[in-house]
């Protein structure tokens, strides 16, 4: 077992995005510290702390900060407006709003209405309108907000009791929005509900990615649904008209699990950081697997058995250049975590490393320039682990592409394994 000690960028341990060789990460409102009696203490940040930072992915230096208020578990979005100006967007959950700052000097471009309550959980999506403007989509506690990138004002709003980050079919002009017990197809230009379908148990939505897939294998909407019961979650795949293609139930998956998709295969992790006892008490560890499902029929293409390793869950998987990168989490702060790299087509384990520090952030990790960026609440930092060589490629939004949400890095992000 190879042990790795990643580089730490202190102060920013949540989600991120990469544009033009610069990674933008959000901060957590507190640091977890282990007290002498073995309990976790929360040390809160000062009130004026700048909650977004810019990091050079080559030098790994902190080059700028942005004075957003508390962003909770979310990721920022860096996007260019109609005039060509780059804006940094982040959700200030305590103020129930989105704020847009100019990338070059952190000047405020606009502030949305205070109508976006709750922790946003992860990220934004966007749609390029026919007139060249951009609509930014934010799924928050009271529903789905479609904001103008130019002004921050709502263009349309669909009220529902929360949901997850929607996916966008840019070519078809549609948004697919997953909320508790329901999946909707929405016309992106107007907010018109084109179709909706009810979903039976398990039907919970917490904070993850709805995936849009449009390739040689057809058009599909890939969804994940959570249940707090052990082995209670599900993956469901629909066609573009919201007809159910297949489903797989009784899955041991996390409250904040994300799905990856590439080339006809859906990749899913295991375990639940928030249900440590039910899973850790199963001594045979039969839940410790990574699976690849065929998108067209749900058949399991391969299964990677990880029963020999100690962890609480694998909530996130990234695809890049024929490989998948999976990072474990543990709810025991004194333990580290595992980094697995496997062949994406066969599931064969190519490498395994162990990091001395835990990676227990809710924010989703990202991959660029051969490096994995992931958050750690205990050290209150971004952990940067060099997997191998690679080019500086963009990672847009929380899930790699702020329209498809497929958790895929461009092939050039990871060129070869040692």
pLDDT per position as a tens digit, 288-323: 999 999 999 999 999 999 998 988 899 999 999 999
For residue 15, the tally of other CB atoms under 10 A from its CB is 30
- Tell me which of 35-44, 154-163, 210-219, 368-377 is least confident: 35-44
Q: What is the pLDDT of residues 384-396, one digit of tens each?
A: 888 889 999 999 9
Residue with structure tokens 């958050």?
A: 375
Dist. CA 393–CA 388, nearest whole Å: 14
Instruction: Give the containing element (helix H, strand E) for 276.
Output: helix 276-280
Dist. CA 30–CA 319, nearest whole Å: 31
Residue 330 tokens read as 């543990």
Nearest to 22 by CA among 364, 373, 380, 318: 373
In a domain, 180, yes or no: yes
In a domain, 156, yes or no: yes
- Output the pTM of the full model: 0.94
In a domain, 319, yes or no: yes
In a domain, 418, yes or no: no
In a domain, 401, yes or no: yes
Dist. CA 77–CA 281, nearest whole Å: 40
In a domain, 130, yes or no: yes
> How many Cα atoms occupy the beta-carbon half-sphere of 152 within 13 Å?
19
Q: What is the pLDDT of residues 214-229, one digit of tens each?
A: 999 999 999 999 998 8
In a domain, 199, yes or no: yes
**Overall number of domains in the chain:** 1
Domain that holds residue 61: 2-413
CATH classification of the domain holding 325: 2.130.10.10
Q: Is 199 left (phi over 0), alpha (psi -120 to 50) or beta?
A: beta
Question: What is 86-146 written as a DSSP string?
Answer: EEEEEEEGGGTEEEEEETTT--EEEE--S---S---S--EEEE-TTS-EEEEEEETTEEEE
Mean pLDDT of 338-357: 93
């Amino acid at each position: 077992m190879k042990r790795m000690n990643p580089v730490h960028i202190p102060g920013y341990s949540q989600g991120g995005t990469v544009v033009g060789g610069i990674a933008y990460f959000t901060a957590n409102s507190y640091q977890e510290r282990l007290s002498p009696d073995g309990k976790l203490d929360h040390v809160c940040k000062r009130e004026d702390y700048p909650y977004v930072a810019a990091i050079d992915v080559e030098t790994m230096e902190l080059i700028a900060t942005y004075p957003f208020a508390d962003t909770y578990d979310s990721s920022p979005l860096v996007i260019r407006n109609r005039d060509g100006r780059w804006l940094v967007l982040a959700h200030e959950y305590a103020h129930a709003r989105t704020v847009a700052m100019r990338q070059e000097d952190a000047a405020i471009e606009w502030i949305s209405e205070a109508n976006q309550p709750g922790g946003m959980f992860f990220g934004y999506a966007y749609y390029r309108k026919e007139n060249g403007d951009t609509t930014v989509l934010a799924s928050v506690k009271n529903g789905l907000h479609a904001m103008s990138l130019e002004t921050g004002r709502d263009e349309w709003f669909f009220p529902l009791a929360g949901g997850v980050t929607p996916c966008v079919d840019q070519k078809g002009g549609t948004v697919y929005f997953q909320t508790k017990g329901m999946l909707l197809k929405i016309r992106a230009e107007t907010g018109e509900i084109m179709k909706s379908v009810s979903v039976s148990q398990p039907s919970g939505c917490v904070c993850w990615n709805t995936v849009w897939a449009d390739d040689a294998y057809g058009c599909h909407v890939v969804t994940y649904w959570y249940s707090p019961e052990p082995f209670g979650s599900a993956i469901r795949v629909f066609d573009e008209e919201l007809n159910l293609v297949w489903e797989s139930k009784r899955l041991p998956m996390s409250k904040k699990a994300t799905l990856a998709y590439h080339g006809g295969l859906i990749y899913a992790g295991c375990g639940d950081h928030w249900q440590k006892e039910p899973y850790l008490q199963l001594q045979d560890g039969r839940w410790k697997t990574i699976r690849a499902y065929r998108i067209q029929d749900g058949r399991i293409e391969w299964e990677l058995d990880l029963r020999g390793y100690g962890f609480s869950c694998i909530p996130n998987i990234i695809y890049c250049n024929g490989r998948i990168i999976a990072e474990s989490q543990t709810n025991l702060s004194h333990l580290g975590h595992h980094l697995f790299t496997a062949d994406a087509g066969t599931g064969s384990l190519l490498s395994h490393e162990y990091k001395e520090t835990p990676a227990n952030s809710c924010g989703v990790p990202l991959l660029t320039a051969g490096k994995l960026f992931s958050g750690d609440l205990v050290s209150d930092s971004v952990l940067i682990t060099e997997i191998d060589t690679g080019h500086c490629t963009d990672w847009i939004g929380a899930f790699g592409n702020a329209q498809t949400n497929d958790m895929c890095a461009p092939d050039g992000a990871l060129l070869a394994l040692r």
